[in-house]
Structure 1
Amino acid sequence: MPYVRQTSHLDRVRDLIAGRVVNPGADIARLASSYRRALDDYRLDPASTTGPRILTGAELRAVQQSEENFLRSTGQCLPQLHAMVREAGYCVILANAHGVTIDYAVDADQRKEFKKAGLYPGSCWSEDEEGTCGIASVLLDQEAITVHKTDHFRAAFTGLTCSAAPIFSPHGDLIGVLDASALNSPDARDSQRLVNQLVRQSATLIEDGFFLKSYGHCCILLAHRNRHFVEVQPEMLIAVDEHGHIVAANRCARHFIGGMDTLPRPVGEVLEVRAERLFDARAGHKLLSLRVAGSS
């Protein structure tokens, strides 16, 4: 995998920390904070050209077993995302909340090249081990990012471009990171905008899949701000238990509907509808027009 000269990369890291911007368009504040932690807290070497730590087969199996529910929730999201970006030379990887790659999708004839770069199951991408990279940045800041080529802290990864997005549990805890990475891509950062958006969308699909598996025993209210999209692409998921209490809501619902910070709550305190009407609509597979309680 191509990478820049160690001395040149070290100068880039120092310049960015010092405020001499050398990566136009990058999220400079996030990169600078991560660079400082990598240097000062973790004592990492930006000139290093070694790959990431790789778990043994037994260690990886143990991690995957502990993440079984999460892995099952991904469905076809990884291969579907890969199908959209494979022609541009990307692989897709899924990491857990500790930065360990637990699943991936890659073309068979490119597997060896991605493995050389550490992009395969068992690789460890936490900030304290590898410094600034897509997965580590999302784990720390819990926001999507594209870490493009020389944005990476280690010289070993300056040929890579990585777009990563967080995956949250129904209660807002970070449970993983979805990432699309390429070994060779255009130098222009704008070339990664579409991939970044596709990764974000796919991460949300995995998040909602995990929600549905976690609350399959409840009545799941599927909602959308536009009634025409409710049945084909619901954006809000709300779990209501048998007692008529909202017990969980996905990220979109928590963002657009107030009162979701302290759950469980009676559904009538959050939405202008009685629980009985929801249950009746569910039984009859009917659509309901709902309003947020207290809204004008």
Structure 2
Amino acid sequence: MRGPAIVEHADRVQAALKSSDAARSALVASWRRSSQHRLDPTHRSPPERLTEAELSLARQRIEPLIAVAQASLDRLYLAVGGVGCCVLLADRDGVPVERRGAVADDETFHDWGLWTGTVWSEESEGTNAIGTSLVEQRPLTIHRGQHFLSRNTALSCTTAPIYDHHGNVAAALDVSSCRADLTEGFVNLIALAVGDAARRIEADNFRLAFPHARIILTPEVERSPGGMIAVDADDLVIGATRQARLTYGITRERLERRLPVADIVGGGMRVAEDLGEAERAALHRALARADGNVSAAAQQLGISRATLHRKLNRLGIRRTH
């Protein structure tokens, strides 16, 4: 039997879907996507849960990220666990694979589906912080009645996507609560903590992916967080975080060309002080700019092709063509 609160929420959702709000409201746009997945706001069945074997496989897919995230998950839980919140790390399909929570709250959170192995994709659960954050690829909070399904309207959840070293969405970090007295001000503080923790996990994962590279921290731009760029011994770019890619227009194609970092972020980058290493780096940069063409690189350097060949041979630098 459907209670009045369930009916009232369902009516509110349906009224919004019939209006023009979807064109200007991100929330209603998510509700519309939920409806297109043939979900019913009054649906009362519990969330879908993976089998133990399926959960184990999901964990294996992002095991390095899970390992890197442990310290950040612990710190985040220390900040929010005392006020009745749990911390979830979900994979890119919206399935929590790691969790922090108080033992006293475990039964409640398990019943609500705030547990490892539960499917929180937007397709399965409608508008919710984990699933919708992954779809829209941005941090967000879904607070109580903003959820699509009536049975989730007691929850307040804040999520930030986590990007891997290729700049792709790899996971989502979430803090959830079912406390009725959670204030808007505290929700905002949770959002800041979640965002900071997500960026720490991204940074730690990026360093793990490029253990022998020099990591350059890029400055904040227009209130966007700074990014990270990995460069090799010749100051050629070999990796970049999503934020660095967005800020400097670093595409996969540009990375494959291994451009000099100074060409991407501007001049003034400090290179090796040793003259031999400096010469080696200059030759690598010239070849990179010329896409491996020795003649074009020699012209850039203002030397003959034969001279460049002698330098390359002396320094043991391989040419592609």
TM-score normalised by the shorter chain: which range applies? 0.7 to 0.9
Report the CA distance between 1:240 and its aligned residue.
0.6
- Consecutive unaligned residues in structure 1, runs of 5 or more: 22-27, 226-233, 281-296
Alpha-carbon contact 1:94-1:178 (below 8 Å) kept = yes
Q: For the residues of structure 2 that align with 1:178 and 1:275, how far apart are their CA atoms?
A: 36
Report the CA distance between 1:260 and its aligned residue.
2.6
State the Cα deviation string for residues 227-273 of structure 1 (Å, max 9, x = none). Answer: xxxxxxx95422012343112222443455x3533323112312424
Report the CA distance between 1:121 and its aligned residue.
0.8
Identical pairs, percent: 31
Q: For the residues of structure 2 that align with 1:255 and 1:185, how far apart are their CA atoms?
A: 39
Q: For the residues of structure 1 that align with 2:14 and 2:90, how far apart are their CA atoms?
A: 29
Partner of 2:319: none
Q: For the residues of structure 1 that align with 2:4 and 2:88, how far apart are their CA atoms?
A: 24
Alpha-carbon contact 1:4-1:158 (below 8 Å) kept = no
Partner of 1:121: 116
Partner of 2:201: 206
Alpha-carbon contact 1:90-1:106 (below 8 Å) kept = yes
User: Equivalent residues in 2 for 1:83-232 (5 A)?
Assistant: 83-186=78-181, 188-222=183-217
Partner of 2:250: 260
- Larger Rg, first or second structure (1 or 2): 2
Report the CA distance between 1:44 and its aligned residue.
0.7
Alpha-carbon contact 1:267-1:275 (below 8 Å) kept = no
Q: For the residues of structure 2 that align with 1:182 and 1:278, how far apart are their CA atoms?
A: 54
Bigger RCO of structures 1 and 2 (CA < 8 A, at least 6 apart) = 1
Report the CA distance between 1:117 and its aligned residue.
0.5
Which residue of 227, 230, 246 corresponds with 2:237?
246
Give the 3 Å change call, closer, same or farther, for CA 164–4 of structure 1 in structure 2.
farther
Alpha-carbon contact 2:85-2:175 (below 8 Å) kept = yes
Alpha-carbon contact 2:77-2:101 (below 8 Å) kept = yes
Report the CA distance between 1:274 and its aligned residue.
5.6
State the Cα deviation string for residues 178-213 of structure 1 (Å, max 9, x = none). Answer: 010001143654441111111111111111111111
Alpha-carbon contact 1:148-1:189 (below 8 Å) kept = no
Report the CA distance between 1:95 and its aligned residue.
0.6
Partner of 1:7: 7
Matched, 1:51 2:46: yes
Question: After the TM superposition, which segments of 4 or more aligned residues of structure 1 sit over 6 Å from their partners?
Answer: none
Partner of 1:79: 74
Q: Larger helix proportion, structure 1 or 2?
A: 2
The residue type equivalent to 1:43 in the other structure is R
Q: Which segment is superposed worse, 116-125 or 209-218?
A: 209-218
Report the CA distance between 1:54 and its aligned residue.
0.8
How many pairs align? 263
Alpha-carbon contact 2:168-2:242 (below 8 Å) kept = no
Alpha-carbon contact 1:6-1:48 (below 8 Å) kept = no
Supply the RMSD in Å over aligned alpha carbons: 2.6
Q: Which segment is superposed worse, 174-183 or 260-269?
A: 260-269
- Consecutive unaligned residues in structure 2, runs of 5 or more: 276-321
Give the 3 Å change call, closer, same or farther, for CA 240–278 of structure 1 in structure 2.
farther
TM-score in terms of structure 1 length: 0.81
The residue type equivalent to 2:82 in the other structure is E
Q: For the residues of structure 2 that align with 1:279 and 1:236, how far apart are their CA atoms?
A: 29
The residue type equivalent to 1:269 in the other structure is D
Partner of 1:228: none
Alpha-carbon contact 1:4-1:155 (below 8 Å) kept = no
Q: Which segment is superposed worse, 161-170 or 190-199?
A: 190-199
The residue type equivalent to 2:7 in the other structure is T
Q: For the residues of structure 2 that align with 1:279 and 1:127, how far apart are their CA atoms?
A: 55
Q: For the residues of structure 1 that align with 2:182 and 2:102, how far apart are their CA atoms?
A: 23
Q: For the residues of structure 2 that align with 1:115 and 1:30, how far apart are their CA atoms?
A: 29
TM-score in terms of structure 2 length: 0.75
